[in-house]
Structure 1
Amino acid sequence: MTNNLSNTKFFSQIVDLLQSARSNVVRAINQTMVLTYFEIGRMIVEEEQGGKERAAYGKQLLKELSKVLTKEFGRGFSVQNLERMRSFYLAYSISSTALRISKKGQTMSDELQNEKSQTISAQFHLSWSHYLKLLRIDDENERKFYEIEAVKNNWSVRELERQYDSALYTRLALSRDKEKVKELSKKGLIIKKPKDAIKDPYILEFIGLPAHSSYTENQLEEEIINKLEHFLLELGSGFTFVARQKRISFDDKHFWIDLVFYNRILKSFVLIDLKIGELKHQDIGQMQMYVNYYDREVRLEDENKTIGIILCQNKSEAVVEFTLPENNEHIFASRYKTVLPSKEDLKSLIKEQ
């Protein structure tokens, strides 16, 4: 019996080792591919010698290069893909203008070029498919934000696309001043206080409930639990699930909190109440009671104050403002959408705040 248990542990260690090795190989292949495409882009830009001044030469160069590479290596080297490599290099060069050839045709020294290439290569942590998606984002600050968040949260390409389509950057940027928006593009989302972790609206298209169908709060909660992994991604960094329908009791009265999470970054419990329709002032008062209970009866001395989030379909900013105290920093009312709005609808929705 002991020998069998020992063997089982030994087998598991070998399996873990091989799985780790395979993951490392995949990462190495991805990075090598990205670095190679970056270098191809650099060589194309330098060969073009000024690009715009000799546009006709540049187009012909890519056509001929495509034929040579396709004959040698097969698919993957169409003119369009070579143009993407060129764009990738221009977008991710440390200093595009410094790396380009001057009008006189003089290039920087090979030593300086190699040093810059090594520096930029250390910043590539995503797959080529990720970068193809990022290259479609015109705004440089927005592109940098999504790149940082994709690396930090280990987003798949599909999740990166979803976060972009749901306008995560815009939702965060509109609630921040200019300095905080700059910080988003340099560091990604930094959570220092409760408000930093709040979005309005939350996009819950992954739960599969139509926008105008009739459903209950219990059904909404059930669908969120069924898609908990997706919901955690929408909540953001640091959230872990604790409980659903958490009962609290006092004076022979019982109350149930829809969802309880904990944020490891803020070191705070996060209580979420789901509401169908318009937010009422009684809903805010109820959340205030939940938060007070957790602060006084549940949280530990080394934990920060509890955060309350009421997710509703619609809300009056005036009702929220006059129900909560002026110095409120821990209770928030945010809207949610069960379908992905069009970009126009999303912009209008955000501007209503």
Structure 2
Amino acid sequence: MANWQTHVEFEQGGKEKAAYGSDLLNQLSRDLTLEFGKGFSRSNLVYMRKFYLAFSKSETLSHQLSWSHYFEILKADNQLEISFYTKQCEKENWSVRELKRQMKSMLFHRLALSKDKDGVLKIAEQGAEVQKAEDIVKDPYVFEFLGIPQQYHYKEGELEEKLIQNLEQFLLELGKGFAFIGRQYKISLANRHFYVDLVFYHRILKCFVLIDLKRGEIEHNDIGQMNLYLNYFAKEENVEGDNPPIGIVLGAYKDHILVEYATENISKQLFVSKYQLYLPDKAQLSAELERLLDDDTGL
């Protein structure tokens, strides 16, 4: 590392953003290969340099992560993403495969765009903390792993079945702390029967998490029904030590004005989110995040 550090600092003249052309990298590759042997191809040097620039302070390195983890993390576009995925990978013990999926689904951008500038910088520095209900909710959720074509007219039951068949991937998308309890969880009230699509327990927040799936647009009565489920679980299912349950109504579309009015004065534990069946548009999310970070009303 010391020899590599010397090469980087000498060739850059002390500047972090030196122009690294092909000829220079090719020459370095030849020199280092002659001195140290195999492992110094041009492509490897590109990532070694990125690694040194991103983690020049040794205390920022995690011994829990392999070089394969760092190789994927260094594909991120900026230092905020690199820092976030390093922290999150360490916290949630992601395999390289899981890390690649989370990066493709633009997890950092999806979480960051639900926060202000201070919040973005905090999750980049510390990773995503789970301390309150809002911390486990994403908007949108990404279900590309289900393999459902965008134009396919699936039913809600099919979506639910697919999520259960891909439970490992679904739990990865939900995030740390979720334990699956059951599907079509039966509630009986006044001789009527209701069924919650999916029920989880969150071991960190110590509460039930109820998810209702909607194939199309979320309606106001869907929100009212979830509120009923939350009240039932709080009174009938919770035991000593359990916190109030969290409800997530998950649909393909939502009208923000309708949601605002339908959720006003309703439990702060009830959330309305969208899901999508394809990976997010990277350019669009990057542009939105850049606008947020450039906002003069922030830091």
Residue in structure 1 matched with residue 45 of structure 2 by the alignment = 82
What whole-Å deviation, never above 9, does each CA across 1:82-139 have from its counterpart, x for those lacking one? 2321221121012xxxxxxxxxxxxxxxxxxxxxx5x455x34312122122222232
Q: Are the equivalent residues in 1 in contact too, given 2:113–2:288 (CA < 8 A)?
A: no
Q: Assess if the C-alpha contact under 8 Å between 2:69 and 2:96 holds in 1.
A: yes
**Please, what TM-score do these two structures have when normalized by structure 1?**
0.74
Q: In the alignment, what sits opposite 1:63?
A: 29
Look up the match of 1:202: 141
- Could you say what secondary structure the match of 2:218 adopts? coil
- What secondary structure, in the 3-state scheme, does the structure 1 residue paired with 2:274 have? strand
When residues 262 and 40 of structure 1 are mapped into structure 2, their CA distance, relative to the original with a 3 A threshold, is: farther
- Cα gap change, 1:136/1:299 in structure 2, threshold over 3 Å: closer, same or farther? same
Deviations 1:47-94 (A, max 9, x none): 54726689799547513324416xx644x3212212321221121012
Q: Which residue of structure 1 aligns with residue 224 of structure 2?
A: 285
Max radius of gyration: which structure? 1
Equivalents in 2 of 1:166, 1:54: separation in Å? 31
Write the distance in 2 (CA, Å) between the matches of 1:170 and 1:251: 45
Could you say what secondary structure the match of 2:216 adopts?
Answer: coil
1:155 counterpart = 2:118: no
Question: Who is 1:333 aligned against?
Answer: 272
SS of 1:44's partner is helix
Q: Is 2:150 aligned against 1:211?
A: yes
Aligned to 1:106: none
Look up the equivalent residue of 1:63 and give its one-letter code.
S
> Which residue of 1 is the match for residue 252 of structure 2?
313
Cα RMSD, aligned residues only: 2.7
Q: 1:347 and 1:128, CA in 2 relative to 1: closer, same or farther beyond 3 A?
A: closer
Counterpart residue identity of residue 195, structure 1: E
Distance 2:117 2:82 in 1: 17
Q: Alpha-carbon deviations, 1:236-284, whole Å to 9, x = none?
A: 1111111111101121111111100011111110000010111111111
Distance 1:55 1:159 in 2: 31
- Stretch deviating more after TM superposition (189-198 or 336-345): 336-345
Query: What is the match of residue 212 of structure 2?
Result: 273
Give SS of 1:276's match: strand
Relative to its length, the structure with more strand (as a share) is 2
Q: Kindly tell me: are residues 174 and 59 of structure 1, through their superposed partners in 2, closer, same or farther at Cα, counting changes over 3 Å?
A: closer
Specify the SS of the correspondent of 1:86: helix
Q: Which has the higher helix share?
A: 1
Q: Tell whether the 8 Å contact from 2:74 to 2:82 is kept in structure 1 after alignment.
A: yes
Deviates more, 1:249-258 or 1:76-85: 76-85
Give the structure, 1 or 2, with the largest relative contact order (CA under 8 Å, sep 6 or more): 2
Deviation at 1:45, TM superposition (A): 2.4
Deviations 1:184-242 (A, max 9, x none): 01210011110111000000010111112011111100000000010011001111111
Say whether 1:259 aligns with 2:180: no
**Matched length:** 287
TM-score (norm 2): 0.87
Alignment of 1:132-281 (within 5 A): 132-281=71-220
Q: 1:49 to 1:281 in 2, by over 3 A?
A: closer
